[in-house]
Every structure is written in structure tokens, then in C-alpha cells.
A and B are shown apart, each in its own frame.
Chain A
Amino acid sequence: MSTPVLEVRGLAFAYPDGHQALYGVDLHVHRGERVALLGPNGAGKTTLVLHLNGILGGGAGSVAVSGLPVTKQNVAEVRRRVGVVFQDPDDQLFMGSVHDDVAFGPANLGLRGEALERRVRDALDLVGMADFADRPPHHLSFGQRRRVAVATVLAMEPEILVLDEPSSNLDPASRRELAEILTSLDVTVLMVTHDLPYAYELCPRSVVLSDGVIVADGSTYDVLTDETLMAAHRLELPFGFDPRTVRARAAG
């Protein structure tokens, strides 16, 4: 098989206060896959995400992005390849205008002039926010800000898009719009979420992280219908949602 976009091997990490968050995580994600990372609160999902672009490090194990190991020397290139969209768009949009926020990443990569403008335009087009380039981010709705946050990362043309709780705080229409954008993108996606219907809708494959280890890795349908597994790791389907009936409906 080809080199995985994301290759995590035996990753273990303890915070300076002694709290151990990861106990040997192995994960492979291949090009074009959309993978959901599920798990209860405190399972280590965010810790894992921060390892993928070299914000955290120094524990045991290794992370490689398209074959490039995540190390201090490679950190700039790793951060280009791995685009992280954080949970709160107010953390991600820190400039005075949407344009400047989207330009920030590619400008850090050394792009200037027309090439930079083109990146900004293309990224905003992908999320349908091109008309808002001159607006300050805090004048946008929450759903629009989330979409701009995705654009800020897309502008760096990442090999893998990592989303932390992409559907949180979105109203149903914004949630659906974001799903449409994510499915339209030609990019590998790793999505951390508690929103199991969203995982089922967007990601054919799911990985369950619990207490710092991967406890399941398979098709999202199989994971969500494995009741013993779900109950053992505090995962619950929302009331009224059953992947079996959804699949039957989609097939019929």
C-alpha cells in the first residue's frame, strides 16, 4: 500500500503535571479517506490532534505525515501538510478581516502577491465565503465563522484536514452546509467528534479512542452498531437515531 498520509506509531504522552493522556496509539490514515475519531470526554482526542502538527511532542512513539516524521526540524512543513481546524472559530480567526485571516497561513509559507491572493480567493470559494473577504470575522454568524476557519486551513493546501468538533454549536442548517462543504472537498479528513450521526454521514471509517488507546477501528456502521463496544466507552447514539434504519432507508 502507498505511504499513509498519517502514520502514528506507539504514541504515548504525559503532560508535565504527570497526567498520562496517551498510552501507545497506532493509527494509519490513507489518502482520500474520511475518518471519524470518536471517544468520550477526556479520552485524549485533543492531545492526539496536537501531536499531529507538532504542537505537542516529546513522549514515546512517532508521527509521520506522508512519510515525513514530525520533528522540530520539520515542523514548518508538517504544519503545512496538516491543517487543524480548532473548535472555537474565535480562536482561529484573530485578524481584522476574513481576507487577512485566510492569507495568514499561506503568507507564513512565503507566498506573496498574486499567488497569495489566488490562494485566498480559492479557499474562500471552496467554503462559499468569497463575498465576505473584507468583513471583520466578529461580524459573521457562528456558522460563517466556522466556514472561514476551514478556509484559513484550506488556503495552506494541506494533505490532511483535522477538524476538532466541527459540528459543535452549529444550528442544523449550518451543520448541513458544513457537511456539504466537507464532502465536496478533495482532501483527506480526520474529524474529532461527539456527533455520531455526523460521523456516520461524513466518514466511512471510525476510530474509537478511549483512555489513551485505540479500542476500535472499522467501518462507522460497524462501530456504531456494536452495542457492547459503545456502552463500554461511554458512546451513545442520540435518541431516535439508528444507523440500521438510516442504511435501510438509504438503500431502499
Chain B
Amino acid sequence: MGAGHGHKLHYHGHSPVHRAPAHVKVLALLGFMLLVVATPRGWYPAYAVYLLLLVAVVAVSRVPATYLLKRMVVEVPFVVFAVLMPFIATGPRVEVLGVAVSAGGLAAAWALLAKGTLGVLASLTLAATTEPRDLLAGLERLRVPSLLVQIMGFMVRYLDVVTDEMRRMRVARESRGFNARDVRHWPVLARSAGALFIRSYERGERVHLAMLSRGYTGTMPPLHTAGHREHR
């Protein structure tokens, strides 16, 4: 039970970007992403403008660049795929640094990389400047069905609980001399995953019992007066 703080994405701050209403930020992100995806791959100056815009927002938010860059590793699988594309794709060949690669593949790789990077960076900026529960409140204000928002809320709440449980199971496995080195060890991992699923499922039932015990009838009641959140 570590007190290790779960703010894995959020970066605490009080900049205008932090203070902007969450639903506005969600809409801005959505609009930005649609715009980026719709931009033809050949319009290089447009991409430069998008990047500048993002960098400006990050600068205003005062989130350190290294903080965001470190978290951009989630993009690595896409980068690998993008790097492979020029070699795998067929079609006319062009020379890049003395290597013949597919022209179509190269263009596709550029588009994937540019759009992906902009998307990841924009999403990370939103995550870094918005508390998860403010994000949920923002989605609620955008009339996202309340059931979906509730499910997301539970996910945010129990993510740490479940990862902690997973960590404890791993420690217990390794304490008994287990070390996942090769394929033969996978069945053990699969069983652990199964056990984790069952445990989480049972926890879900217990949470439901606790909700019923406090008079839950199937809809989330409004918990806030208008003024409560603003003083923070």
C-alpha cells in the first residue's frame, strides 16, 4: 500500500491552460485532432503551424517539455511501424541516404508519424493540465451519456487499486523464485491474469453492494452545489 501518488499524467499547475474549463479543452482537442487528420499529407506548412500552436500551448501551461517527452514513449510502436513502412510498401522507389525505399511508403510513414505525434502530444497536454475528475465533469457537461462517464470514473478510481494488486501478485510470484524468461512461463502469467480478472470482478460486486447499502438506485445523484468546485 504505497502512498505513491497516482498522478501519472497530470502535472500540477495554475496556468491559464490548467484553469480553462475541461469541456472547452476536450472540444479544442477534438477539433484540433479532426483538423490534423483531415489535412492532406503534402501540406507541410500546415503541420508546422499545428506544431507551433501546440508548443505555444505547452509553453503557456508551463508543463516542462521533458515531462511530456518522457510520456511520449507510448507512441513508440507507431514509430516502429512508420519506420518499417518505406521498406515494406511496394511501388516506385526513391533513394534516401543511399537506400532505395518505396515513395508511397515514405509519404505514408511521414503522414502517420506527423499526425500521430501531434495527436499524442495534444492528448498528453490535455492530460497534463486537467485532473481526471475535472475531465469527467467536462465530459458530463458535454452531455456524454452519464453511464459512460460513471464507468470512466470507476476506471480512474480503481486503476491504482488494480495495478497495486497486480504488483503484489508479481512480487509474490517472484518471491517464490518465478521469473518469466521464456514462452514456457507464459501459462503462469496467463493464470495470474485470470486470477486478477476474477479478483477485480469480485471487487466490482463488493463495490456494488457498498453502493446499494448507501441507497444507490441506478442513477448517480448530483453531488455538487454550484459553488463547491470553484474555490480550488
Contacts and interface: CB of A to CB of B under 8 A. Distances in A.
Given A53-B213, A116-B223, A96 B206 contact: no
Please list the 6 inter-chain residue pairs (A to B) with the smallest Cβ-Cβ separation, ordered nearest first. A107-B221, A108-B215, A96-B133, A105-B214, A91-B206, A103-B223
Contacts of B225: 112-114, 116-117
B67 interface: no
B187 interface: no
A93 B214 CA distance: 11
Contacts of B3: 139, 141
Given A96-B133, A117-B228, A136-B6, A55 B223 contact: no
Contacts of B211: 94, 104
Interface in A78-120: 79-80, 83-84, 86, 88, 90-97, 99-100, 103-105, 107-110, 112-114, 116-117
B203 interface: yes
Contacts of B214: 79, 104-105, 108, 152-153, 156
A96 B203 contact: no
Contacts of A76: 215, 217
Given A96-B132, A96-B157, A156-B215, A104 B206 contact: no
If over half of A's interface residues share one DSSP class (helix, strand or loop), that class is named, otherwise mixed; here it is: helix
Interface in B201-221: 203, 206-207, 209-217, 221
Contacts of A83: 213
A138 interface: yes
Given A91-B207, A94-B210, A97-B133, A138 B160 contact: yes
A90 B215 contact: no
A153 B132 CA distance: 25
6 contacts: A53-B213, A76-B217, A79-B215, A94-B157, A110-B221, A152-B214
A86 B206 contact: yes
A39 interface: no
Contact of A79 (B154, B213, B223, B228): B213
B228 A91 contact: no
Given A105-B215, A114-B225, A55 B157 contact: no
Contacts of A96: 132-133, 136, 153, 156-157
Interface in B153-173: 153-154, 156-158, 160-161
A139 B12 CA distance: 15
B222 interface: yes
A50 to B, nearest CB: 8
A97 B133 CA distance: 8
A137 interface: yes
A109 B211 CA distance: 13
B8 interface: no
B5 interface: yes
B184 interface: no
A138 B223 contact: no
B232 interface: yes
B1 interface: yes
Contacts of B216: 104, 108
Contacts of A84: 210, 213
Interface in A181-238: none
Contact of A104 (B133, B157, B161, B223): B223
A165 to B, nearest CB: 13
A219 to B, nearest CB: 30
Given A84-B213, A156-B215, A134 B223 contact: no
Given A86-B206, A104-B223, A139-B5, A99 B215 contact: no
